[in-house]
Amino acid sequence: MHGESGWWESFFRGPWEALQLGGYPEERTRSEAAFALSALPIQPGSRILDVPCGEGRHSIEFARQGHRPTGLDFNPAAIAIARERANAKAVQAEFVVADMRELDAAAEYDAAVCFFGSFGYFSDDDNLRFASNVARALRPGASFLIDSHVAESLLPSFRERDWFWVRQPSPLRVLEERRFDMHTGRIEVTWTFIRDASVVSSTSSIRLYTYRELCELLRKAGFSRFQAYETGKLEPFRVGSSRLTIVAQR
């Protein structure tokens, strides 16, 4: 596997789609959105680009907090759910079906958010292309927030095998078999989904940058003045932190 294999097209329309579209606890979404908003230097009523947005949970919460979000995702099923949930909560949020590498906007947004480990899906060239398009979509001085693992957060506690239960709507066991490819700098994962007698497998491949590599990519894309936090906390990122949130200024 590698970043040009298109693994995400089948992964997010396969077994993971049901988990994603089933929703996440409201408390978790509110906590994540509150952290993102506290880390971003934005004003009330800001235009926020949420990319990729999945089923729109962060965009909907941004709208509930008085901002004007636009969520973008390649999966029409996810966007349909996002629109339904925004309507049900009576909030104003725009949702667009598109490949995030094809983002086509110029100086429209006050901030952009790429949350929940969604950076690094593609080849290095396409990851740079995505970041460059985000930079172009932002107004001068606006910020891009990325929540992700980097080598300094993941490798100190790297586990080759892991598993967890999803108990709603019915018990599902999810197994992960992970491999770090030192030649490509990618985390290759085989996911196995087990429910009763049904066993389905899927794969993912995500580029694991070092903090320095990620900063260099973002500089090439047009960003500067980086702030690095441990995700979920406004505390400085360190080796061994659980995850990285980097805020880069356009």
* pLDDT recorded at residue 14: 82
- Which of 184, 189, 112 lies closest to 146 in space, CA to CA? 112
Interstrand relation of 68-73 and 94-97 (parallel, antiparallel or unpaired): parallel
- Which of 147, 88, 89, 96 lies closest to 117 in space, CA to CA? 147
CATH match for 7-149+209-249 among 3.40.50.450, 3.30.420.10, 3.40.50.150, 3.30.450.20: 3.40.50.150
- Which of 47, 84, 79, 78 lies closest to 62 in space, CA to CA? 47
Q: Which residues of 211-241 are buried (b: 16+ CB within 10 A; e: fewer)?
A: beebbebbeebbbeeebbbbbbeeeebeeeb
Residue 238 has what DSSP assignment? -
User: How many percent of the chain have pLDDT more than 90?
Assistant: 89
Is the pLDDT confidence value at 57 over 70?
yes
pLDDT tens for each residue of 204-237: 999 999 999 999 999 999 999 999 999 999 999 9
Given phi > 0 = left and psi -120 to 50 = alpha, else beta, which region is 63? alpha
pLDDT tens for each residue of 74-125: 999 999 999 999 999 999 999 999 999 999 999 999 999 999 999 999 999 9
Phi, psi of 73 (to 5 degrees): -155, 150
Q: What are the CA-CA distances from residue 90 to residues 51, 60, 61, 93, 107 (Å)? A: 21, 10, 11, 9, 28
* pLDDT recorded at residue 19: 85
Looking at residues 3-20, what average pLDDT do you find? 84
* pLDDT recorded at residue 30: 97
**Interatomic CA distance for residues 86 and 154, integer angstroms:** 34
Q: What is the mean pLDDT of the chain?
A: 95
**Interatomic CA distance for residues 37 and 146, integer angstroms:** 12
